[in-house]
Amino acid sequence: GQNIDQPTEMTATEGAIVQINCTYQTSGFNGLFWYQQHAGEAPTFLSYNVLDGLEEKGRFSSFLSRSKGYSYLLLKELQMKDSASYLCAVRDRGGATNKLIFGTGTLLAVQP
Amino acid sequence: GAVVSQHPSRVICKSGTSVKIECRSLDFQATTMFWYRQFPKQSLMLMATSNEGSKATYEQGVEKDKFLINHASLTLSTLTVTSAHPEDSSFYICSARDSGSPPGELFFGEGSRLTVL
């Protein structure tokens, strides 16, 4: 079966660093994605990991450990506009379409 | 990045009527598009995979006769919610993959919020 878990909610302070964890158990694996979604809007792409290790992109970094079925998204120098839901998604290798399966999402609230 | 456009962004309809939502890839061709549904404060649930020129592939538990998907061209997929009921009220989002973008990156439409009265 497919199972992707994230904390439901997190709170952090402006200027700080926050780490959002994601654990997954899927029938196949062909990459892990992080998306940001503001309320009422479509998700926007943040990062992609297919090999173990850390991928850095500006204030955002994403880490993957395939053997542990684990990833995290690290946000540095938090800004108020970073308040949003962060969605972890796994690309399922099964079938020809490589569909994305999304986790439950983590609602991050950044406080002054 | 690639652009995916959805229309309408908001629709209100009466119970029992049908609603069609369009998803277009504006600057690339998409042989595959994905339709997701999102209830308030929940994550995206994949409903079906839309394949150009062939039948859609539906996820377990999604009624294919209720949610009709047509992917007649490489730039357009449509989702029709037939005989809509209040429990179908949700945020419907389509996405597509551009073969020229980083592997697997999906581009999402703006979403369509359906309210069934």
pLDDT of residue B113: 95
Residue with structure tokens 């399922």?
A92
Name the token pair of B9: 């962004």
Positions in chain B whose pLDDT score sits under 50: none
Q: Which of B43, B93, B102 sits opposite A104 (nearest CB)?
A: B43
- Taken in order B62, B40, B50, A24, the sign of the CA dihedral is negative
pLDDT of residue B116: 96
pLDDT of residue B100: 66
The pLDDT confidence band at residue A42, using thresholds 50, 70 and 90, is: confident
User: How much of chain A exceeds pLDDT 70, in percent?
Assistant: 95
Backbone phi, then psi, for A82, in 5-degree steps?
-80, -5
pLDDT of residue B101: 65
Chain B residues touching residue A47 (CB < 8 angstroms): none
pLDDT of residue B54: 86
pLDDT at A95 over 60: no
Q: Report yes or no: B52 and B69 within 8 Å, Cβ to Cβ.
A: no
A15: left (phi over 0), alpha (psi -120 to 50) or beta: left
* More confidently predicted of A96 and A85: A85
The pLDDT confidence band at residue A27, using thresholds 50, 70 and 90, is: confident
User: Kindly report the CA angle at A61 between A106 and A45, in degrees rounded to 5?
Assistant: 60
Instruction: Please give the average per-residue pLDDT across A47-69, as a whole number.
Output: 94
> Which of A27, A44, A45 should be substituted to probe chain B, the one whose Cβ sees the most B Cβ atoms within 10 Å?
A45
pLDDT of residue A81: 96
